[in-house]
Structure 1
Amino acid sequence: MTDPHFESGAFAAQQALRTVVENGADEAALSTLAHSEVLVPAAADAEGPAPKALTLPVFEQEDGTELVPVFTTQERMEQALPRMHRHRSVQLGALAHGWPSDNLSLVIDAGTPEQLALTAHGVKALLDREEG
């Protein structure tokens, strides 16, 4: 059963991604992204209650770049990572606010036309929008 609220939020996030990919750092689109919920893949063997700390899945690319993939929908996650069926939902801006490393990149919706890859600096500069 899909959550209509999440689905409408996912659509808004995908539209914002498209805007940023096509037009660059659009403030309204970046704000929409920062306030969007994304899915962070979780290990299949994770059982029981969700841990208090979020464990980020880190993938190393052939060039040595380490990145964390997040997705706007479960379908997009399973298309990119077919063996991943579990996830945790987190607000993208909160994830950016606690970004753990200056050497870790973020990719949103890998393998889609709206794919957006950001360096650690880009994650903090573009998506860390704490409400004050």
Structure 2
Amino acid sequence: METPENRQTDTPARQALDALVDNHEDTMALNTLAGSEVLVPVPDDAGEEEATDPGTVALPVLEQPGGEPMVPVFTSEPAMAELLPFVGRYRLVPLGALAAQWPADDLSLTIDAGSAHPLTLTSEGVRTLLARP
């Protein structure tokens, strides 16, 4: 049965993540994901200009167990609230555009961390799998 909560969280991006669980090379799912907008939490220390400038995105970097840096992004507000309930600001960013400018260091990207089917990609994986022309 469809509920208001399901309608909010069952986005095309979320469906693509679920499809990638069964087939990591599902081109249609990767294209859907790359073409989707994701919610990028605005770091608490970002100023108003950084939070609203359309030419730049301040990335929230969290430390994973083991110390590796990771940027969390989300497919919906409920998915974000599940892991980061106190986030006050976020930006909608096309995932493919974010991936096209992803740094070359060891910064990974996790989509819907805390969900049943999160997707974590290395820096190289972000650029090669999600960056679309």
Q: Which residue of 2 aligns with 1:122?
A: 125
Q: Which residue of 2 aligns with 1:16?
A: 16
For the aligned residues, what is the CA RMSD?
Answer: 2.1
**What's the TM-score once normalised by structure 2's chain length?**
0.84
Structure 1 residue ranges (4+ consecutive) displaced by more than 6 angstroms after TM superposition? 7-10
1:113, distance to aligned residue in structure 2 (A) = 1.2
**What's the TM-score once normalised by structure 1's chain length?**
0.85
Is residue 102 from structure 1 mapped to residue 112 from structure 2 by the alignment? no
Matching residue's letter, 1:12: P
3-state DSSP of counterpart to 2:11:
helix
Matching residue's letter, 2:97: A
Q: Deviations over 1:68-126 (max 9, x none)?
A: 00000111111111111310010000000000233100000011112100001110111
1:44, distance to aligned residue in structure 2 (A) = 4.6
Q: Which residue of 2 aligns with 1:50?
A: 52
* Further displaced range: 43-52 or 109-118: 43-52
Q: Which residue of 2 aligns with 1:31?
A: 31
Matched residues, number: 124
Unaligned runs of 5+ in 1: 1-6
**How far apart are the structure 2 equivalents of 1:9 and 1:74?**
8
**How far apart are the structure 2 equivalents of 1:47 and 1:95?**
20
Matching residue's letter, 1:69: P
Distance 1:74 1:98, change over 3 A: same
